[in-house]
């Protein structure tokens, strides 16, 4: 039982329910006053409802903004607005619809919007202060130290390790194709990406295909599993961040943090004791740690643990989700599947049948397929930035106060027919050289943009491409009749998920 739940029980036993009635009255009054915020600022808004504001569901997994922003975006666009106000619970947020304003916030005037709107608790939970959540100067210092870890040269160095990790996945698909069994493709791809993280991050063999209950596979499930007590904490971080900080709530389960503390500590000690060097993520961060010991802002052991945990979470879920939807769309569009496979075979023939980093870079149509998938199914559905000082939008008299969240709905932008005609059609030609050249780049932002874009973008694209190439080269895929179609997207969650399980069939070529 958490500290918060213990205090809650003690309060009920000692005082009865009167305090909760008074707290409810206070919350109601506070919410109703907050719901006048955008009217007081003379900003167009969507009328909120107590207690969700403009959210449309309560989801315990939610730690940020989900698909609810698509409805907000459509509402403001229908009114010809470049921005508009909404509420997430009692929190006022400003959603942008204009690509030029989006460019200004993410890039041109980035100094006003340095911070992400993502809860963190540096006092009680320093081992989860990763690059994704840290604020202001601390973010800049950490980004500078970690950027060399994710260069193209480092990706090339890790390429063969990722390819090697795909072998158990191919063996698993081959076995299923022989028996004509259904393949739970998201589960299979998650095993692949976790094995990859084990190899390139820790230099370890996780064997997720052999051991479905491996500790690392359990940690992946632990992250998405939310019980009532964790849900209470996550909800508190959304409604009242200061209260959540006071009670020591965090977004990462404590059991998960402890697990990675032990893994990182044991891994580093083993390498030092046995003089082992591996060109992986842990080694690169160890070098950052050693080289910055005497800096004014060193890269600490807590930083190392936090970013290793982040690499695990971001690397396994976002890439497995992307690959799932690539295979879903190629299974639904067999002619595009054959076109993708034809390019793969042609490029590999050019490279003497070897799947190398250079061969991967030559697969331009495959990249178009990935881009089109990310347009329709961005794993991170919104970009959220906080104004760190007052900001006046150009050509307006509207000044945004310090501390207000600005949202960009990547899901809504990617399905906007003004930028992508017939947006529900899967068409990789949208991302050929000619079409990309005439489209505003700020309507397609699956990895963000500007100084605070996704630092792991190169690795994510490389890992996903390797998985797709390895599968399509050997198998023709189709959707199993047991899959409940169409797939629908889960509401109220931060990272994109489907309500249904996607089952595929694989035919060996």
Q: What is the DSSP letter of 149?
A: G
Q: What is the pLDDT of residues 281-321, one digit of tens each?
A: 888 888 888 889 888 889 988 998 899 888 888 888 899 99
Q: Which of residues 235 and 317 earns the better pLDDT score?
A: 317
Q: Is the pLDDT of residue 408 over 50?
A: yes
Between CA 475 and CA 8 the distance in angstroms is: 55
Q: How many CB atoms neighbour CB 418 within 10 A?
A: 10
Q: How many CB atoms neighbour CB 215 within 10 A?
A: 11
Can you give the pLDDT at residue 4?
45
Q: What is the pLDDT of residues 249-285, one digit of tens each?
A: 777 778 888 888 888 888 888 888 888 888 788 888 8
| Mean pLDDT across 26-36 | 87
Between CA 319 and CA 227 the distance in angstroms is: 25
Binding site listing: 454
Can you give the pLDDT at residue 222?
72
Half-sphere CA count of 439, side-chain side, radius 13 A: 21
Q: Is the pLDDT of residue 51 over 50?
A: yes
Can you give the pLDDT at residue 282?
85
Task: Give percent helix, percent strand, percent coil of the chain, each to the nearest 5.
Answer: 55, 10, 35
Between CA 417 and CA 421 the distance in angstroms is: 4
Pair of tokens at residue 4: 């918060």
Can you give the pLDDT at residue 19?
63
Can you give the pLDDT at residue 227?
66
Binding site listing for heme: 454
Between CA 34 and CA 53 the distance in angstroms is: 10
Q: Is residue 224 very low, low, confident or very high in pLDDT (cuts 50, 70, 90)? A: low
Nearest Cα to Cα of residue 196 among 453, 470, 448: 470
Between CA 127 and CA 272 the distance in angstroms is: 22
Q: Is the pLDDT of residue 376 over 60?
A: yes
The answer to whether 383 and 115 are in contact (CB under 8 A) is no
Q: Is the pLDDT of residue 10 over 70?
A: no
Tell how strand 91-96 and strand 405-409 pair up.
Answer: parallel
Can you give the pLDDT at residue 309?
85
Percent of the chain residues past pLDDT 90, beyond the cut: 60
| Mean pLDDT across 431-454 | 96
Q: Is the pLDDT of residue 238 over 80?
A: no
Between CA 14 and CA 397 the distance in angstroms is: 53
Phi and psi at 262, nearest 5°, equal -65, -40
Q: What is the pLDDT of residues 328-373, one digit of tens each?
A: 999 999 999 999 999 999 999 999 999 999 999 999 999 999 999 9
Can you give the pLDDT at residue 237?
76
Q: Which domains does the chain have, with CATH numbers?
A: 35-508 (1.10.630.10)
Q: Which of residues 9 and 145 earns the better pLDDT score?
A: 145
Q: Is the pLDDT of residue 24 over 80?
A: no
Between CA 327 and CA 459 the distance in angstroms is: 19
Pair of tokens at residue 113: 């919007």
Between CA 205 and CA 470 the distance in angstroms is: 20
The answer to whether 442 and 410 are in contact (CB under 8 A) is no
Q: What is the pLDDT of residues 154-200, one digit of tens each?
A: 899 999 999 999 999 999 999 999 999 999 999 999 999 989 988 88
Q: Is the pLDDT of residue 116 over 90?
A: yes
Distance set, CA 22 to CA 25, 120, 425 (Å): 5, 29, 52
Between CA 106 and CA 454 the distance in angstroms is: 12
């Amino acid at each position: 039982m958490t500290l918060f739940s213990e205090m809650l029980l003690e309060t009920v036993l000692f005082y009865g329910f009167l305090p909760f009635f008074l707290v409810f009255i206070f919350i109601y009054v506070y919410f109703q006053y907050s719901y006048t915020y955008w009217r007081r600022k003379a900003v167009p808004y969507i009328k909120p409802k107590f207690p969700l504001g403009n959210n449309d569901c309560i989801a315990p997994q939610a730690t940020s903004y989900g698909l609810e922003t698509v409805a907000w975006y459509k509402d403001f666009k229908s009114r010809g607005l470049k921005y508009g106000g909404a509420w997430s619970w009692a929190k006022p947020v400003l959603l942008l619809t204009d690509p030029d304003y989006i460019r200004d916030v993410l890039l041109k005037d980035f100094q006003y919007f340095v911070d992400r709107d993502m809860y963190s608790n540096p006092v009680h939970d320093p081992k989860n202060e990763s690059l994704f959540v840290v604020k202001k100067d601390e973010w800049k210092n950490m980004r500078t130290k970690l950027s060399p870890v994710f260069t193209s040269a480092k990706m090339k160095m890790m390429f063969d390790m990722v390819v090697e990790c795909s072998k158990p996945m191919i063996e698993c698909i081959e076995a299923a194709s022989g028996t004509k069994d259904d393949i739970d493709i998201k589960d299979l791809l998650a095993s692949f990406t976790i094995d990859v993280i084990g190899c390139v991050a820790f230099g370890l063999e996780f064997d997720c295909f052999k051991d479905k209950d491996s500790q690392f596979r359990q940690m992946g499930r632990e992250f998405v599993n939310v019980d009532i007590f964790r849900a209470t904490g996550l909800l508190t971080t959304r409604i009242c961040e200061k209260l959540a900080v006071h009670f020591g709530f965090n977004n990462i389960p404590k059991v998960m943090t402890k697990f990675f503390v032990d893994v990182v500590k044991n891994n580093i000690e083993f390498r030092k004791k046995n003089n082992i060097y591996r060109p992986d993520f842990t080694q690169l961060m160890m070098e950052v740690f050693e080289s910055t010991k005497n800096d004014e802002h060193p890269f600490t052991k807590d930083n190392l643990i936090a970013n290793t945990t982040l690499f695990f979470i971001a690397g396994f879920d976002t890439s497995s989700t992307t690959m799932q939807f690539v295979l879903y769309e190629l299974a639904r569009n067999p002619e595009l599947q054959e076109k993708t496979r034809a390019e793969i075979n042609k490029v590999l023939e050019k490279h003497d049948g070897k799947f190398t980093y250079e061969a991967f870079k030559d697969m331009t149509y495959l990249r178009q397929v990935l881009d089109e998938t990310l347009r329709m199914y961005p794993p991170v559905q919104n970009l959220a930035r906080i104004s760190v000082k007052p900001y006046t939008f150009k050509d307006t008299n509207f000044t945004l106060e310090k501390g207000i969240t600005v949202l960009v709905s990547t899901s809504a932008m990617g399905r906007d027919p003004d930028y992508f005609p017939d947006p529900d059609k899967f068409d990789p030609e949208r991302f050929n050289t000619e079409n990309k050249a005439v489209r505003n780049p700020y309507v397609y932002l699956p990895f963000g943009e500007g100084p605070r874009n996704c630092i792991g973008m190169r690795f994510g694209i490389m890992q996903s491409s390797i998985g797709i190439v390895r599968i399509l080269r050997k198998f023709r895929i189709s959707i199993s009749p047991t899959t409940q179609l169409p797939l629908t997207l889960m509401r109220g969650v931060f990272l994109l998920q489907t309500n249904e399980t996607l089952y595929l069939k694989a035919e060996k070529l």
